Structure 1
């Protein structure tokens, strides 16, 4: 269940922020019945995601989404000709010319549905009867590496990553994972770094929620071969604090890269 998933992510990763669950509220009835509070004023979608990472709950419709690019990406507003043609970003000088801008625009992945709004809450706030559609984790490169390794344990390489440093939280971390049914990495974008004030050493990961359990299992299975002792000590303490020490045995001073580096001569001497 989502609360248990959030617990295991906290145990296995060195998170500064809570994982965030995104649920699409497709109808007006869905929007009204959401337990999250509606916004009284406007806010960019990515800022609301940051708020949720700090423990706050909200729901957002197009009238209160202070970023039209996010409204388009999430299916709350139609995609207009200016976005489809690439002319807006070409005029702004984001890309060299209209041809390049059009190629980026053509590869953008918007939610195909029309929805009334989105529910944005910490993952731990969801339950078995109310699960998110996508999980967004804004975190460090090390944690992103571990999430990728957890995914790869069951699925192999993470392929078809899409990133342009544009529409990062709304598209690269939400609509793309949702529409393509696969995780995606994002270096974030200048817009979200401005309005949401992410740290320079943070990036984004978007995961379809139904795949999160397998990713967490992969993280657990790869603690011993992948993690260094420093992180293993942290994980062991988190396991103990959560009363889960018996669930996962942490083996210290052992991983796949111990003794793996050296010249052929050095490696040969070690075997003697």
Structure 2
């Protein structure tokens, strides 16, 4: 990463606090050194994605004019990758070598390409980018990697507006079970410019 540190996300049985900050804001603050232990955060879409509520964001998506019809908004909400109802807290910290469920990185496109190449190094199967340009940090790069695959997103209006990561960065979520394999492969694949 050119700016900040990778962010560790760990679902834990520890008792967390309620936060008014949005999940993507918590991630961005952790990128620059802060740590959080939260049982809830301030984003209704994030709450739906991270298992805090069953209330779909389809009405919000439609009323905010993100979609041209109620059916499109309903489809978009139903396609979000989300976690089952959880009773746990989320520990969000700058990565320092400890346990994590998902590691979030903000990378320039070339660095993202190398990470994808490292992921495909062992078996050649391509990484699948699954995004609708919504719920990027919570759905695309946290909930989706919890299924064991890397999440890659160009971002979303909410995360870019509220956490203000730069226009030339992509968000990447790496599940813990792939991190060692990807790290080892990064040392073996050719550099972009040799």
Alignment equivalent of 1:183, drawn from 142, 150, 161:
150
Task: Give the Cα–Cα distance (whole angstroms) in 2 for the partners of residues 182 and 136 of structure 1.
Answer: 13
* Larger strand fraction of residues: 2
Q: TM-score, normalised by structure 1?
A: 0.66
1:208 aligns with 2:175: yes
Greater relative contact order: 1 or 2 (C-alpha under 8 angstroms, separation 6 or more)? 2
Alignment equivalent of 2:25, drawn from 47, 50, 64:
47
Q: Which residue of 2 aligns with 1:6?
A: none
SS of 1:154 mapped into structure 2: coil
Task: Give the Cα–Cα distance (whole angstroms) in 1 for the partners of residues 87 and 139 of structure 2.
Answer: 15
1:226 aligns with 2:194: no
Q: Which residue of 2 aligns with 1:61?
A: 39
Give per-residue Cα distances to partners, 1:30-58, cap 9 Å, x unaligned. 236xxxxx57x521111111111112211
Q: Structure 1 residue 66: deviation in Å? A: 1.6
Alignment equivalent of 2:86, drawn from 114, 119, 135:
114
* Larger helix fraction of residues: 1
Give per-residue Cα distances to partners, 1:109-161, cap 9 Å, x unaligned. 1101413320001121x43xxx1101110121111111101101024233432
Larger Rg: 1
Task: Give the Cα–Cα distance (whole angstroms) in 1 for the partners of residues 50 and 71 of structure 2.
Answer: 25
Q: Structure 1 residue 17: deviation in Å? A: 2.2
Written as runs of structure 1 = structure 2, the 5 A alignment for 1:243-254 is none
How many residues end up aligned between the 2 structures?
194
Question: Unpaired segments of 5 or more residues in structure 1?
Answer: 1-13, 33-37, 230-272
Alignment equivalent of 2:15, drawn from 31, 45, 53:
31
Q: TM-score, normalised by structure 2?
A: 0.91
Question: Unpaired segments of 5 or more residues in structure 2?
Answer: none
